[in-house]
Amino acid sequence: MNFCRGVMGLFLETFLCCRKEESLSINRLENSIINVASCTSEGVNMTEQMNKIRKWIVNDYFTPNIKAEVILDTLLTPYVTEILKDQTAFKGELHFITKEMSVLESKESEQGSGYGNRGTKIDYVLGDEEAIYLVELKTTGSSINLEQADRYLRNCCSKNGQPKTFGQVFGNKLLSVMKGAFGDTYEKSFPQHLKFDKWGNSVWDGDKALWKAFLLVFRTRHLGKKYDIDEPSEKYAEAARELIRRAGWTQKDGARSRKYLYTAGQLLDYLHDHPKCMLWDKPLKLIYLTPAGECPSEEFKKEVYRDFYIGSFSLLRASEYLKKKQEDELALLLSGIIEDMFPI
């Protein structure tokens, strides 16, 4: 029953956030979710209920103006590392880190204005002892476009094709967003820059700055007593989520950049749980996950980018992998959704 409730909570949250046109009333949907969540206690057929969810998601995929891709993105999250390991080899043990990190735009960086909370977001960020892997999920051919592919090459690679590091493209942008998100008192106490990039912008130089910036938020002199939460020494993302919830930052205009505290917490959890893995100086590598493993650009196939672009992998093949997990209802649900979305 706990599993069933977990799946329903995950589905309800993403389903309601992504729909722009409702084919079901909210009350009807909520009642359906409650019925599914209690299915095991009432002896209701679990497969039948999962098939209902499968139908809703697939119908939305074929409905104009509904971003069903976001729902698929959420359901894929617990499986993305093993799906990729099934289709290619990694030197180290691959771990999920976070999602939707902002890419530092090179042109804006040259102009000294590239550290805002805008621009390209990467779907998944994974890591091992060798590198940080950027995974771009695409569920339609029209969304696999040359402009975005070129943006990754321009922003994540140097001119000679060598990958930039996590700190250059993601770490410094995250810290810059955080520095400006929590007010003047917080900003004055923020970790000092220790070096400059080639355009003269001051930047932070390592994972330690991220840790300091994160813990600084929990010192209540910056936020007030009503947000009083002890500084965490582990489970950083969990502590960040609780603080964000208490403060209501997901709902307040002008405070939503503070949600990046959760992203910072996920990064620190990764460092804490995998001591041999680092972030700041690790090279970036790009992966596409598309319906049939389509390559987004012929440019990626050039020899100069061999250290950056790992390849494009198939959601349809992922469906076959997930189908083998017969004891995992969510994996079977996801496999069925993928099969219904894409022609085999």
DSSP code of 180? T
Q: Nearest Cα to 260, choosing from 239, 244, 277?
A: 244
Reported as a single tens digit per residue, the pLDDT across 117-134 is 556 789 999 999 999 999
Label residue 189 by pLDDT band (50, 70, 90): confident
- Shared domain for 36 and 169, answered yes or no, is no
- Shared domain for 227 and 289, answered yes or no, is yes
3-state secondary structure of 100: strand
Tally the domains of the chain.
Answer: 2
Is 276 a member of any domain? Answer: yes
Q: Which residues pair with 190 in a beta bridge?
A: none
- Shared domain for 138 and 216, answered yes or no, is yes
C-beta separation of 183 from 334 below 8 A: no
Is 139 a member of any domain? Answer: yes
Q: Where are the beta strands (DSSP E) in the chain?
A: 95-102, 121-127, 132-137, 195-196, 202-203, 284-290, 309-314
Torsion of CA 256, 258, 260, 264, to 10 degrees: -170
Is the pLDDT at 302 greater than 70? The verdict is yes
Range of the domain at 17: 2-66
Amino acid 20: pLDDT: 43
Tell me the helices (H) and strands (E) count for the chain, helix number first: 16, 7
Greater pLDDT, 252 or 127: 127
Lowest-confidence pick of 48-52, 143-147, 244-248, 290-294: 143-147
C-beta separation of 217 from 243 below 8 A: yes
Query: Span 289-305, mean pLDDT?
Result: 91
Is 161 a member of any domain? Answer: yes
- Shared domain for 100 and 61, answered yes or no, is no
Is 186 a member of any domain? Answer: yes
- Shared domain for 244 and 299, answered yes or no, is yes
Single-letter amino acid, residue 122? I
- Shared domain for 119 and 207, answered yes or no, is yes
Q: Could you identify the residue written with the tokens 């932070």? A: 204
- Shared domain for 147 and 274, answered yes or no, is yes
- Shared domain for 159 and 182, answered yes or no, is yes
Is 279 a member of any domain? Answer: yes
pTM recorded for the entire structure: 0.84
Query: Span 310-338, mean pLDDT?
Result: 95
Give percent above pLDDT 90 in the chain.
Answer: 46
